[in-house]
Amino acid sequence: MGNLLKKKLENKSNVIGPFMKLPSPAVVEIAALAGFDFVIIDCEHGPLNMLEAENMIRAAHLSNMSAVIRVGENNPNMISRALDIGADAVQIPQISTKEDAINAVKSSKFSPLGERGVCKYVRAAGYSSMDKSEYFKYANENTLVIIHIEGLEGIENLDEILEVEGIDVIFIGPYDLSQSLGIPGDVNNVKVEEKMKEVVNKASAKGKIVGTFVDDIDAANKWKSLGIQYMSYAVDVGIIYDSFKRVTKGFK
């Protein structure tokens, strides 16, 4: 079947999906039924562990939807475990230098493209049902590597970061970026938007796909029109809260 998210991005489709903090395969299925292209299982912020994440990936794949894992840090073991349980993509936070980006790719790809830990007895390899040489080749060709540019240092080093082979998506983290600019949480500030547009323009000029996080649909459509192809829309808990609140406010 291949990586559905990768195919959509290669076909220039705009894709959208929420961050997931709830350890719930059911909520993943609901996201798929609602029409999202992917979910980002958040193992950086929140309580999720790898066993819960694995079951959420199963739910996504059974629902014909892609599953991304955001790991806690640019750590080879964390990245390897996320990919071993079958994530279609790994989303790696706090990439600030070319060396950070190189290490992210190394941890995500098998030789000769990287140095990812080798094991065929994992879910991603069909628990050894896949021929090992076929699995390593398939993983290298289909695994998406998404890196977070979240601060001024990353933006200052962006030209060098964009030289690194093997990165599929440059993801702008607006909230951390706002903090690095001294205006934490003010993601609609013109200073934040200017830096985000700088990343979009530079990355697009190099043929890189750009992603970001938004928490309202107007912002999603605005950034889509400005060149964002990979759209992370809000968080499961926030979406549920907003829906519940609309009901209680309407009833009163």
Contact between residue 128 and residue 66 where contact means Cβ atoms under 8 Å apart: no
Spatial separation of the C-alpha atoms in residues 67 and 103, rounded to whole Å: 22
Mean pLDDT of 206-212: 96
**pLDDT of 228 over the 70 cut:** yes
pTM, entire model: 0.96
Spatial separation of the C-alpha atoms in residues 52 and 16, rounded to whole Å: 22
Q: Which of 232, 234, 169 is nearest to 199 (CA)?
A: 169
Contact between residue 73 and residue 51 where contact means Cβ atoms under 8 Å apart: no
| CB environment 23-50: b (16+ within 10 A), e (fewer) | bbbebbbebbeeebbbbbbbbbebebee
Residue 124's H or E segment, with its range, is: none
Q: What is the pLDDT of residue 102?
A: 98
Q: What is the pLDDT of residue 2?
A: 79
Spatial separation of the C-alpha atoms in residues 36 and 68, rounded to whole Å: 13
Query: For residue 252, what pLDDT band results from cuts at 50, 70 and 90?
Result: confident
Question: What number does CATH give the domain 4-251?
Answer: 3.20.20.60
Q: What is the pLDDT of residue 46?
A: 87
Q: Domain boundaries in the chain?
A: 4-251
Q: What is the mean pLDDT of the chain?
A: 96
**pLDDT of 143 over the 90 cut:** yes
Query: For residue 1, what pLDDT band results from cuts at 50, 70 and 90?
Result: low
**Structure confidence by residue, pLDDT tens digits, 60-111:** 999 999 999 999 999 999 999 999 999 999 999 999 999 999 999 999 999 9
Joined together, the tokens standing for residue 149 give: 């540019």
Contacts of 211 (CB under 8 A, 6+ apart): 146, 169, 170, 171, 172, 228, 229, 230, 231, 232
